[in-house]
Structure 1
Amino acid sequence: MIVDPSVRVAQLADELRAIAATSLYFSQDPHDRARFEQIRVVAAELQSVVDRRDASEIRAIFDDDLTPRTPLAGADAVIFDAEGRLLITDRADGRGWCVPGGLVEVGESPSEAAVREAYEEVGLTVRAVELLAVYDNRKVLPPGRVHVFHHVHRCEVVSGEPAPTHEVRDFGWFRESEIDKLTFFSIHATLVRDAFRGSKQTLFH
């Protein structure tokens, strides 16, 4: 994969920040802590190379968040109808088609997040019945600036009919033969094709 150099620089800065934050969280030795603080300074300087903000502003942001850095958790809902068609939505921001989904919020599990997203995005009450796949977005797509693990759940409709919302401007029930005409958002081209293949085992990418 060809990676934009500016994206790679931002990735390296984020990785250095993560190393420093995690080490500072656990370390008690003053000499080690001084080294980890310097790593955080270097991370801010590196980020400033590809950022509109200067290093001091970025450093202030880093200083305000000293928790260990970890990838984000995402959750997606794969919903088929009785005819074997998959519910796919067109994002209101115009960034492409995808199944209902989003980031997991504090206090909920990935399956709970998938259920919530289905309701928020298309008004369906669903239940999560199976974990279909876990995707590392950096393995499926050219590496970007955000690292996300997507937890994909097969969900069954409990009640409701899908409808557009402020997050979704359109939707449809699609057969596998119809998906090539869609422009997909993020990892969803891979996610949707895998969903139609119906692997008997949870997929890990």
Structure 2
Amino acid sequence: MSSYYFEKIKRLHALAEIGLEYNTIPYDMERYQEIRDISLELLEKLTHIPVKEIVPVIEEKNGYRTPKVDVRAVVFNEHQEILLIQEKVDNCWAMPGGWCDIAYSPAEVAEKECMEEAGLKVKAQKLLAVMDKQKQGMPPAFEYVYKIFLLCEKQNNNISTGSETCDVGWFAEENLPELSLPRNNEAQIKMMFEYFRGERSEPYFD
């Protein structure tokens, strides 16, 4: 799948949604509807996923598309190792985290996800990075995603798996496991190590 065309088609679909929500001219509404239908057909061809499965993921009820927000907890131990969890969905590894929930701040999401996925109580301390997933060389996705990375301090040494994880552990920078690329990549994790060593201080943003 071409990431470039995938993102352009998603953009066309988003513009069609906005047009359908805010336009009142009948002829324009017909054109926006046609653009929406064509973009969904193209997405189906690119991904081999039926339109009926794409629509619930990609379309907003209010017609105005906005990015989703993914928060990752960045946790280190006294041995200069980073905390990673093994995802059941692909058996690969990622920093604890997930989508932001309504009524939770990013810090609260990071702390909650770390407890749920790794069994570890942490306290969010510092914003490290805000990244546009599309600009990070990550696999294409239907959602347009902003990723927030928060440095968290562990409050104890207890780690355990959760309902969405099959393993959890601490890893040195030179000994990273196979990563869950939809969630994080090697460049992002290495950047987190740079913050840990004091080689970076200012938050990164795209």
TM-score range (shorter-chain normalised) is 0.7 to 0.9
Shift, 1:29, TM fit: 3.8
1 CA distance for matches of 2:107 and 2:67? 17
Which one-letter code corresponds to 2:124 in the other structure?
A
2 CA distance for matches of 1:190 and 1:111? 23
Shift, 1:171, TM fit: 2.0
2 CA distance for matches of 1:18 and 1:48? 16
Give unpaired runs (5+ residues) of structure 2. Answer: none
Aligned residue pairs, count: 197
- The question of 1:25 aligning with 2:21 is answered yes
Q: 1:200 to 1:60 in 2, by over 3 A?
A: closer
Give unpaired runs (5+ residues) of structure 1. Answer: none
RMSD, aligned α-carbons? 2.7
Which one-letter code corresponds to 1:168 in the other structure?
T
2 CA distance for matches of 1:64 and 1:88? 32
2 CA distance for matches of 1:29 and 1:47? 27
2 CA distance for matches of 1:127 and 1:41? 46
Percent identical: 26
Q: Match of 1:157?
A: 154
Which one-letter code corresponds to 1:84 in the other structure?
Q
Shift, 1:139, TM fit: 1.4
Q: Match of 2:120?
A: 124
Shift, 1:18, TM fit: 0.5
Aligned partners of 1:91 and 1:167 also within 8 Å: yes
Aligned partners of 1:18 and 1:68 also within 8 Å: yes
- The question of 1:49 aligning with 2:45 is answered yes
- The question of 1:104 aligning with 2:100 is answered yes
Aligned partners of 1:17 and 1:69 also within 8 Å: no
1 CA distance for matches of 2:167 and 2:97? 15
Q: Match of 1:178?
A: 175
1 CA distance for matches of 2:128 and 2:167? 25
Q: Match of 1:139?
A: 135
Q: Match of 2:190?
A: 193
TM-score (norm 1): 0.81
TM-score (norm 2): 0.81
Shift, 1:141, TM fit: 1.8
Give 3-state SS (helix, strand or coil) of 1:152's partner.
strand
